[in-house]
Amino acid sequence: MAEAIVIGGGAVGLAIARELRRRGLSVILLERNQPGRAASWASAGIVSDPIGRPDDANFQLDVLSRQLWPTFVEALQAESGMDPEFRESGCLIPALDDAEAESLACLIRAGLVPTGQLLPVQALREAEPVLSPSIQSALWRPGGNVDNRRLCKALEISNRRQGVEIRTGAEVRTVVVASGRVRGVELVDDHLSADLVVAAAGAWSSQLAGCQPRLPIVPQRGQILALDGGPVNLRQVILASGDPYLVPRADGRIIVGATREFAGWDTSLTAGGVAGLLTRAIRMVPALADRPIQEMWTGFRPISPDGIPLIGPGQASGLFICTGHGPHGIGPLPGTTTLLSALIFGEEPPIPAKAFRPERFTSGEGA
Ligand X SMILES: Cc1cc2nc3c(=O)[nH]c(=O)nc-3n(C[C@H](O)[C@H](O)[C@H](O)COP(=O)(O)OP(=O)(O)OC[C@H]3O[C@@H](n4cnc5c(N)ncnc54)[C@H](O)[C@@H]3O)c2cc1C
Should residue 329 be labelled a site residue for ligand X when binding is judged by CB under 6 A? yes
- Nearest approach in angstroms of CB 96 to ligand X is 20
Q: Name which of residues 12 to 71 contact ligand X (CB under 6 A).
A: 12-13, 30-33, 37-40, 42-46
User: Which residues pair with residue 118 across a beta bridge?
Assistant: 139
Between 112 and 296, CB nearer to ligand X: 296
Per-residue three-class SS string for the chain: CCCEEEECCCHHHHHHHHHHHHCCCCEEEEECCCCCCCHHHHCCCEEECCCCCCCCHHHHHHHHHHHHHHHHHHHHHHHHCCCCCCECCCEEEEECCHHHHHHHHHHHHCCCCCCCEEECHHHHHHHCCCCCCCCCEEEEECEEECCHHHHHHHHHHHHHHHCCEEEECCCEEEEEEECCEEEEEEECCCEEECCEEEECCHHHHHHCECCCCCCCCEEEEEEEEEEECCCCCCCCEEECCCCCEEEECCCCEEEEECCCECCCCCCCCCHHHHHHHHHHHHHHCHHHHHCCEEEEEEEEEEECCCCCCEEEECCCECEEEEECCCCCCCCCHHHHHHHHHHHHCCCCCCCCCHHHCHHHCCCCCCC
- Nearest approach in angstroms of CB 296 to ligand X is 11
Between 137 and 336, CB nearer to ligand X: 336
Between 107 and 215, CB nearer to ligand X: 215
Between 11 and 234, CB nearer to ligand X: 11
**Region near ligand X per CB under 6 A, out of 5-13, 51-59, 62-70, 313-321:** 5-13
Binding mask 227-266 for ligand X (x = CB under 6 A): ------------------------------xx--------
Between 12 and 138, CB nearer to ligand X: 12
Identified binder of ligand X from the candidate list 8, 116, 144, 334, rule CB under 6 A: 8
- Nearest approach in angstroms of CB 126 to ligand X is 26
**Region near ligand X per CB under 6 A, out of 87-95, 111-119, 159-167, 322-330:** 322-330
Between 101 and 327, CB nearer to ligand X: 327
Q: Name which of residues 166 to 225 contact ligand X (CB under 6 A).
A: 171-172, 200-204, 208, 222, 224
- Nearest approach in angstroms of CB 256 to ligand X is 11
Between 107 and 256, CB nearer to ligand X: 256
- Nearest approach in angstroms of CB 136 to ligand X is 26
Q: How many CA atoms lie within 13 A of 65 on its CB side?
A: 24
Contacts of 229 (CB under 8 A, 6+ apart): 248, 249, 252, 253, 254, 291
Q: Name which of residues 140 to 169 contact ligand X (CB under 6 A).
A: none
Between 185 and 285, CB nearer to ligand X: 185
Q: Footprint of ligand X on this chain (CB under 6 A)? A: 7-13, 30-33, 37-40, 42-46, 171-172, 200-204, 208, 222, 224, 257-258, 299, 301-302, 323, 325-331
